[in-house]
């Protein structure tokens, strides 16, 4: 085998030698599970031994279990594999090719650049750049047209999309919008959505990864929201806007529980119904009935503008204290 062929073989084997840092997740975009990473690229491979980086370019594709990453270029950062507990440390190999062939390296970070598309059997994520941290099982995507599609919802964002597979959580930042599969729409500066984990998924009982900023409230654990992969809760931060069938509800922060259709917006809350508007400290809304109610202030007063001859504003009510 010539040196050039040895180098190519080393590249392919390094990418397929990723260890099982976490058990495989039952659903979602999770590359941290066990099994080989299969890499193909029309433009070929490069190995930069000094930087411990391998590059696949030209219509590159990486596949692990049911997750496939497609991009113009894939960059894998690798390191020496840690020996299993109780196992003796591996002796250094004489060259990278031999090291790869003995499974001595592991990929801990995968980057995708250009026309990035990540797909599973149920989910799809689109962006210009993606970085996947295999230790934390966290995907961060940036680009001009960020989009994450799941069976429960479609999320878009301007700045970043994060997917925390071990927490079954997605975070969208910058003009974030989520549209649920029953056509409910919520927008905010930051949206955090949670899906139900599979009870048989061992990741559901593992330690927590770092929380996004601002920190999202933990999921409720409502037993009625028990279907794996089902959208469980949406938390919204900053310039929140919720559209019901008849009203627009705005405020500083919000929460929505899809199973019940009920949510609340707090902080400078206001409900708009046509040309009518009512303001208060908080507003409750029901997506299923289309009714929104403003919460009164401690003195029992709400503020608003009511235009005569408008349709009956049954939804603009002060909630009982």
pLDDT of residue 38: 84
pLDDT of residue 32: 78
> What's CA 234's distance to the chain center, in Å?
12
Q: Around 163, how many Cα atoms within 13 Å sit in the side-chain half-sphere?
A: 30
**Nearest-angstrom CA–CA distance, 31 and 110:** 9
**Nearest-angstrom CA–CA distance, 176 and 148:** 11
277-285 contacts at long range (C-beta below 8 A, 24 or more positions apart): 277/304, 277/305, 278/302, 278/303, 278/304, 278/316, 279/303, 279/304, 280/318, 282/251, 283/249, 283/251, 284/319, 285/242, 285/244, 285/247, 285/249
pLDDT of residue 215: 38
Question: Does an H or E element contain 264, and which?
Answer: strand 262-273
Closest CA to 55 of 36, 80, 81, 73: 73
The answer to whether the CB of 112 falls within 8 A of the CB of 126 is: no
Residue numbers in the chain where pLDDT is lower than 50: 1-27, 93, 95-102, 203-226, 300, 302, 304-307, 310-321
- Residue 137 sits at the vertex; the CA angle it makes with 133 and 139, to the nearest 5 degrees, is 60
**Nearest-angstrom CA–CA distance, 162 and 29:** 11
pLDDT of residue 198: 62
pLDDT of residue 246: 85
DSSP-assigned states of every residue in 33-101: SSS--EEE-TT-EEEETTTTEEEEEEEEEEEETTEEEEEEEEEEEEEEPPPPTTSPPPPPPSSHHHHHH
Place of tokens 């009511």: 306
pLDDT of residue 127: 97
| Token output for 56 | 């696949």
**Nearest-angstrom CA–CA distance, 219 and 167:** 10
């Amino acid at each position: 085998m010539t040196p050039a062929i040895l180098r190519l073989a080393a590249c392919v084997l390094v990418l397929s030698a990723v260890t099982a840092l976490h058990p495989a997740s039952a659903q979602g975009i999770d590359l941290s599970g066990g099994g080989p990473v299969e890499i193909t690229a029309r433009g070929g491979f490069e190995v930069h031994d000094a930087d411990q980086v391998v590059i696949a370019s030209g219509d590159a594709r990486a596949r692990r279990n049911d997750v496939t990453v497609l991009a113009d270029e894939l960059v894998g950062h690798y390191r020496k594999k840690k020996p299993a507990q109780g196992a003796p440390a591996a002796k250094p190999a004489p060259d990278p090719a031999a090291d790869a062939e003995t499974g001595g390296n592991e990929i801990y970070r995968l980057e995708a650049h250009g026309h990035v598309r990540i797909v599973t059997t149920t989910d799809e994520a689109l962006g210009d750049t993606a970085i996947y941290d295999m230790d934390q099982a966290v995907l961060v995507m940036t680009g001009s047209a960020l989009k994450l599609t799941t069976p429960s919802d479609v999320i878009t964002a301007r700045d970043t999309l994060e997917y925390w597979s071990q927490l079954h959580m997605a975070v969208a930042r910058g003009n974030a919008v989520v549209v649920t599969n029953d056509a409910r729409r919520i927008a905010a500066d930051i949206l955090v959505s949670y899906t139900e984990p599979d009870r048989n998924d061992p990741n559901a009982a593992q330690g927590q990864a770092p929380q996004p900023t601002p920190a999202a409230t933990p999921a409720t654990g409502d037993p009625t929201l028990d279907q794996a992969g089902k959208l469980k809760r949406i938390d919204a931060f900053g310039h929140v806007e919720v559209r019901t069938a008849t009203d627009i509800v705005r405020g500083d922060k919000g929460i929505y529980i899809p199973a019940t259709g009920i949510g609340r917006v707090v902080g400078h809350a206001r409900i708009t119904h046509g040309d009518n508007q009512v303001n208060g400290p908080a507003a409750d809304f029901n997506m299923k009935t289309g009714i929104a109610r403003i919460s009164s202030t401690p003195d029992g007063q709400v503020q608003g503008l009511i235009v005569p001859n408008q349709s009956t504003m049954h939804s603009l009510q002060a909630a009982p204290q």
